[in-house]
């Protein structure tokens, strides 16, 4: 009987250890896409960078977002993201925009990508 109690306590301790470590979930591609659209939009609004390159990268990111979201959802998410990220320091916005510009999808098909439900 004592062995059962010890095993139960060890089991609970192991569960407690697992519960104390939050699971970090990867950002969804559509979330990354809208986030990058916002940072690139903020760069353009601030007059920093090449507007044509910013527009092209933003359009490619939007193509990715539209795979899992409707146009209205993307537009609303974008507007909210602009409001949130627009309050960050300019240096942080510039760094994120540069990262998004560098990681922007390339060579996307001319037809829209199929929706994923």
Q: What are 63-96's pLDDT values in tens digits?
A: 999 999 999 999 999 999 999 999 999 999 999 9
Percent of the chain scoring above 70 in pLDDT: 72
Furthest-apart CA pair in the chain: how many Å? Answer: 74
Beta strands in the chain (DSSP E): none
The mean pLDDT value of the chain amounts to: 83
Q: Is residue 34 part of a domain?
A: yes
Q: Is residue 16 part of a domain?
A: no
Q: Is residue 90 part of a domain?
A: yes
- Using the predicted structure, report yes or no on whether residue 15 has a pLDDT greater than 70: no
**55 touches 17 (CB < 8 A):** no
When divided into structural domains, the chain yields a total of: 1
Q: Is residue 73 part of a domain?
A: yes
What is the spatial distance between Cα 32 and Cα 89, in angstroms, rounded to a whole number? 20
**What is the predicted pLDDT for the residue at 108?**
72
Structural domain range at position 60: 29-103
Kindly tell me the sign of the dihedral angle through the C-alpha atoms of 8, 13, 19, 24.
Answer: negative
- Using the predicted structure, report yes or no on whether residue 61 has a pLDDT greater than 50: yes
**What is the predicted pLDDT for the residue at 34?**
96
């Amino acid at each position: 009987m004592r062995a059962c109690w010890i095993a139960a306590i060890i089991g609970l301790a192991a569960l407690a250890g697992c519960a104390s470590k939050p699971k970090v979930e990867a950002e969804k591609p559509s979330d990354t896409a809208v986030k990058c659209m916002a940072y690139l939009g903020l760069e353009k609004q601030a007059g920093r960078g090449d507007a044509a390159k910013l527009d092209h990268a933003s359009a490619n990111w939007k193509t990715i977002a539209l795979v899992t979201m409707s146009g209205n959802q993307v537009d609303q998410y974008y507007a909210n993201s602009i409001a949130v990220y627009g309050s960050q320091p300019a240096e942080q916005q510039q760094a994120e925009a540069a990262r998004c510009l560098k990681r922007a999808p390339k060579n996307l098909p001319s037809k829209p990508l199929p929706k994923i439900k």
